[in-house]
């Protein structure tokens, strides 16, 4: 029979109670949080889609591993289990545990980047962009043009624009490009996958120009599933074989293991060449920033759970359910005429807030507006992936305009049921009905200099305030 919704390949053994606040309570909570969803208490969110990072449900095997964790400061057996799993799956000579993905970036990027250097990516996510800029380097995005049209349905919209990459390297000078980063899947572009062919072509450009190629591997398993399903020639290959080929084109990888390895904390840094001179520098930075290199800021119990989760995250039945759950939500939105980055990506649905709220200009943050309305409507916490997250130009301080104005519904792994997915869809449908009544967006009243969206304070712009001529022009231009 045809399956509309891929059922969970597991059964539930423990439950966590949820509480739905009243509409009045939700309005008060978001106002008290200065209209920043990061400032909400988790217990005040009925469905929490702020991130899929570290929010998944671990398996009985992982919890059993927690009890077996070896807490030796140096050379714990749990560390060696992680090394064995990492080398088996990725076929890299060196594996370095760290406490999460941004820690891997903090350890690696200062070795390769600095003032006057550039890093090029298919598209940088927020923390990766920040760690590049903290070294003094600058970021350049080269995602394929089709990714910038959310309504256009095409496979592998996370790909690098190879011709643009070549042109950018020629303009900047290869000697000034310290790193190329391939993000799989491409989070900022809507969780869109990267094809094997594209990865191969980018690797050829990197090698020809003597530029190291780093894989931002947070959602490597989901990317491999899309390759297996959608790229000709890979339907009969295993997920592990696809991962091994994909990673063979990189020189190193940084990973938040809080996504596809389904752990609540953890990350990894890998180097393909076991004799690379980078490794001593990586160990030195790890000891300075994270702790001794055999634990990398993680408890032995976390190393143990991570080693197990690396294998659970590449299971075909699990991945079919995982992607199927996201596609079920996308199908509900299709039926309701709600735009999103199509096709649905791996870890969530990126709702096109610009399409739902075309009268809200980028500098009033339509992605954040929709996220706030979603919380007020149904207690669902999500986040902006747009101009609010992108922030200000590092040199001029001017607000940047993002290519997208998304509200990201990032779905935690093995956590929510189909009924929860239906509530997400129904809440968005209700907001769409009243979208025309949302007249204005938000202004920032306080922001920190780096990664502002985690902490900034906002306030609603009163409906009666007239837009300046410049603001009216901005709306018209959109």
Q: Which residues are catalytic?
A: 73, 125-126, 216, 218, 259, 453
Q: Which long-range contacts (CB under 8 A, 24 or more apart) does 287-295 make?
A: 289/103, 289/106, 289/107, 290/98, 290/99, 290/103, 290/107, 292/73, 292/74, 293/96, 294/74, 294/75, 294/76, 294/79, 294/97, 295/73, 295/74, 295/76, 295/79, 295/97
Contact between 461 and 381 under an 8 Å Cβ cutoff? The reply is: no
Token pair of 95, please? 């594996």
Contact between 60 and 290 under an 8 Å Cβ cutoff? The reply is: no
Total residue length of the chain: 478
Cα 59–chain centre separation: 22
Q: How many CB atoms lie within 10 A of CB 180?
A: 28
Report the b/e string of 52-89 with b at 16+ CB within 10 A: bbbbbbbbeebeebbeebbeeeeebebbebbbebbeeb
Q: How many CB atoms lie within 10 A of CB 326?
A: 22
């Amino acid at each position: 029979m045809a399956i509309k919704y891929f059922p969970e390949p597991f059964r539930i053994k423990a439950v966590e109670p949820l509480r739905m606040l009243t509409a009045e309570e939700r309005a008060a909570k978001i106002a008290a949080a200065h209209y920043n969803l990061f400032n909400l208490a988790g217990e005040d969110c009925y469905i929490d889609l702020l991130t899929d990072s570290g929010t998944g449900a671990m398996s009985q095997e992982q919890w059993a591993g927690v009890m077996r964790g070896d807490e030796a400061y140096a050379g714990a057996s749990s560390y060696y289990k992680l090394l064995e799993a990492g080398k088996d799956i990725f076929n890299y000579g060196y594996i370095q545990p760290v406490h999460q993905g941004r820690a891997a970036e903090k350890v690696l990027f200062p070795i390769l980047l600095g003032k006057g250097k550039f890093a090029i990516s298919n598209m940088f996510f927020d923390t990766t962009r920040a760690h590049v800029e903290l070294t003094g380097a600058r970021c350049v995005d080269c995602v394929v043009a089709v990714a910038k049209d959310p309504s256009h349905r095409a496979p592998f919209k996370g790909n690098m624009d190879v011709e643009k990459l070549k042109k950018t390297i020629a303009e900047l000078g290869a000697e000034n490009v310290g790193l190329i980063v391939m993000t799989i899947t491409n989070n900022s572009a809507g969780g869109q996958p990267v094809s094997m062919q594209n990865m191969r072509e980018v690797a050829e450009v990197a090698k020809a120009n003597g530029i190291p190629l780093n894989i931002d591997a947070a959602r490597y398993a989901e990317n491999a599933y899309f390759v297996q399903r959608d790229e000709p020639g890979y339907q009969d290959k295993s997920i592990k074989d696809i991962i091994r080929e994909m990673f063979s084109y990189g020189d190193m990888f940084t990973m938040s293991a809080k996504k596809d390895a389904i752990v609540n904390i953890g990350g990894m840094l890998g180097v393909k060449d076991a004799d690379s001179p980078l490794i001593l520098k990586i160990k030195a930075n790890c000891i300075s920033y994270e702790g001794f290199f055999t634990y990398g800021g993680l408890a032995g119990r976390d190393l143990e759970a991570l080693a197990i989760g690396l294998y659970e995250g590449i299971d075909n039945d699990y991945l079919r359910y995982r992607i199927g759950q996201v596609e079920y939500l996308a199908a509900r939105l299709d039926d309701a005429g709600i735009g999103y980055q199509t096709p649905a990506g791996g870890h969530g649905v990126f709702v096109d807030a610009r399409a739902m709220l075309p009268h809200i200009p980028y500098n009033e943050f339509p992605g954040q507006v929709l996220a706030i309305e979603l919380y007020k409507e149904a207690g669902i916490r999500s986040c902006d992936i747009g101009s609010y997250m992108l922030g200000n130009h590092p040199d001029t301080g001017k607000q940047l305009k993002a290519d997208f104005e998304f509200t990201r519904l990032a779905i935690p792994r093995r956590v929510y049921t189909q009924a929860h997915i239906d509530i997400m869809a129904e809440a968005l449908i209700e907001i769409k009905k009243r979208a025309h009544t949302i007249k204005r967006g938000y202004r920032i009243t306080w922001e920190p200099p780096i990664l502002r969206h985690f902490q900034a304070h906002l306030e609603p712009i009163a409906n009666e305030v007239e837009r300046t001529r410049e603001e009216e022009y901005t709306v018209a231009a959109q």
